[in-house]
Structure 1
Amino acid sequence: MTSGHDWDSGEGLIRIDDPAEVDDAFERGADHLGTAVIGLAFNCSLAEAAPRIVLATRLPDLRQRAYAFTAAAHVARFHGELTPELYAVLRAEGSEGTSGDAIDDTLSFVPFRDLPPWLKRRKVLRIVWSRVEVCRLRSGDAVGCAWRALRGRRP
């Protein structure tokens, strides 16, 4: 192969930087397309990588689809934004599916003002739930400390 990428074994696809080569691989129905779109996420612009990532999220192979969502997470990390199509794919997949880590990375690395409304709600709910959990844990510590003091033991 002249490109240095082995589509049969997946060797070198993480370094792919040519969207046209990935398009050709989609047309051929090649293996390791999820790995290839991770390479595009690393090496190409958001505009070049996003449409191919969206296509890869529809692959029949669960592992390759999971790699496509990993690529979406990397795009969120590197570019600090996603395209409306990527947001739609994340929303359709939901946080319980293979897109959970991609949603978490999007919430971490995309500014709040740039999130779509459904992700803003999710981020606010996570913050509120986190604060509730902290209060619950602290109150448990306070109750335990008071109980030990009443029994005559020092913490």
Structure 2
Amino acid sequence: MRPTARSLAFAAALALGVAAAPAASAGPVQDPIPIGPNTYFYGLVNGQAADAVIQVACPGPVGPSSTGHPLYGQTAEVRSVVPPVSTLYGYTGSAAKQIDAGLTLPTSVTADPPIVFGSFFAPAKIPTTWVVPCGGSTTMTFVPLSTSSTARSYTLKVSFVNIAT
């Protein structure tokens, strides 16, 4: 290879390496970790651990007792936490191998079945079959199962926002 061609090849390779560098420096992605005993955790809704919102489709006139369904593509997730931690977090206790998440709702609406997690860092879809209020707020509780005397649930405040208004 002639010196000029070699220099051009080196410059092209260097330019490609520099162009690829930003992609290589993207934020880390956490692989799922199986849920197991003696692990602290917290829950998220749509990526939020505070001020979480579930968007709801409520067609037509909406009143205080109106209900609708969560929009498709929304998620809930559980993430593990490395000690030392505060008592604000949930704890799987000595026996848990899964965590179930559900909403605390009035009896006129249903959020069944619960969302079942077998791994941390593995978002799951919020079911569009749930019937939820068109507005207001409640809590989503993340419950370790199988339970034990040391297990502790985690509760997250969730607001409902009607996208049709």
TM over 0.5: no
Say which structure, 1 or 2, has more relative contact order (CA 8 Å, 6+ apart).
2
Bigger CA radius of gyration: 2
Q: Give the number of the structure whose residues are more often strand, by fraction.
A: 2
Q: Give the TM-score range, shorter chain.
A: under 0.3
